[in-house]
Amino acid sequence: MTDDNISATEQNSVMVEISGLHVQFASQEVLRDVDLAVPRGQTLAVIGESGCGKTVLLKTMIGLLKPHRGTVLFDGRDLSTLNERELTQQRTRIGFVFQNAALFDSLTVGQNVAFPIRQHKQYAERQVRELVLERLEEVGLPSSIVTKKPAELSGGMRKRVGLARALVMNPEVLLYDEPTTGLDPIVSDVINELIIRTRRRYPVTSILVTHDMRTARKVADRVVMMYPAGRLEPNESQMIFDGPPSELERTTDRRVSQFVRGEAGERLMEMMGATSAANGEESDDG
């Protein structure tokens, strides 16, 4: 997948670069020495089972979480060296589409979409309204929706409002956290098409966290699969797959092929073994 809006030079430059990233909560290791470079204009899908650190990775990319060690470079700048004002400025270049849309229930659709502009820009109300209506139109929503509250919308419509809000600041990077979770197959494909259209319309770098293999195959140029740090061999990379979607079916790593095909396989045996071990410990304690 290529983008005519991005020059060859820009496509070869790195937008997000992560080196030796390590994050843990208490004694639980979530990210272990993760290395990842995302070229400008690429659409990257991050897959992996629940609890492997995908969303934590997204949050470190925008400085919401600070790593215990390692660096995150955003367009060449180390986020750990920025003060709060500089970090806030960098975040205006990033649009975040949250898993459950994360709309403000007390605000109307129009107010939700306009929120980032009012926070960071000094636009006249007429200009704000025009931008809101433009972004809503881009995601296939009518102008009549601006006065509705999120509770009046379907799940798919809320997701599209969330995308409109992420686009309103003309971001250089779009982060999607499970953009199709909870949606039926048709509405999921609507979201996939909107992600593709957004990529074609704007010169954005897109990073998606998803469990939906249809989404990963359809919208991504590149797929990486993460594996839980606690189940890795010593010195094994947490990224157990990195390549184009077409290579997913040809991988020789059973962990990847089982995930892609939705097969419990050896993972079920691991879970049963862990349960048996836990029950044995409880018995010993008693």
* CB atoms inside a 10 Å sphere around CB 128: 18
Q: Could you tell me if residue 6 is inside a domain?
A: yes
- Split at pLDDT 50, 70, 90, the class of 202 is confident
Helix, strand, coil abundance in the chain, percent, nearest 5: 45, 20, 30
Which residues, 6+ apart, have CB-to-CB distance to 25 below 8 Å?
A: none
**Distance separating alpha carbons of residues 91 and 96, to the nearest angstrom:** 9
> Is residue 247 predicted with pLDDT exceeding 60?
yes
pTM of the model: 0.84
Q: Looking at the structure, tell me whether residues 89 and 181 fall in a common domain.
A: yes
Taking only the tens place, the pLDDT of each residue in 268-283 is 666 555 555 445 555 5
Q: Looking at the structure, tell me whether residues 181 and 272 fall in a common domain.
A: no
Q: What percentage of the chain reaches a pLDDT higher than 90?
A: 63
Instruction: Give the total residue count for the chain.
Output: 286
Angle at 278 between CA 262 and CA 211, to 5 degrees: 20
Position 9 scores a pLDDT of 44
Q: Looking at the structure, tell me whether residues 272 and 177 fall in a common domain.
A: no
> The domain that contains 36 carries what CATH number?
3.40.50.300
- Containing domain of residue 273, as a range? 252-286
Q: Looking at the structure, tell me whether residues 209 and 286 fall in a common domain.
A: no
In the chain, the number of structural domains is 2
Q: Looking at the structure, tell me whether residues 183 and 260 fall in a common domain.
A: no
Mean pLDDT of the chain: 87
Contact 92, 168 (CB under 8 A): no
Tell the burial category of 159 from Cβ atoms under 10 Å away from its Cβ (0-12, 13-18, 19+).
buried
Taking only the tens place, the pLDDT of each residue in 51-86 is 899 999 999 998 888 899 999 999 999 999 999 899
Q: Could you tell me if residue 57 is inside a domain?
A: yes
Q: Could you tell me if residue 113 is inside a domain?
A: no
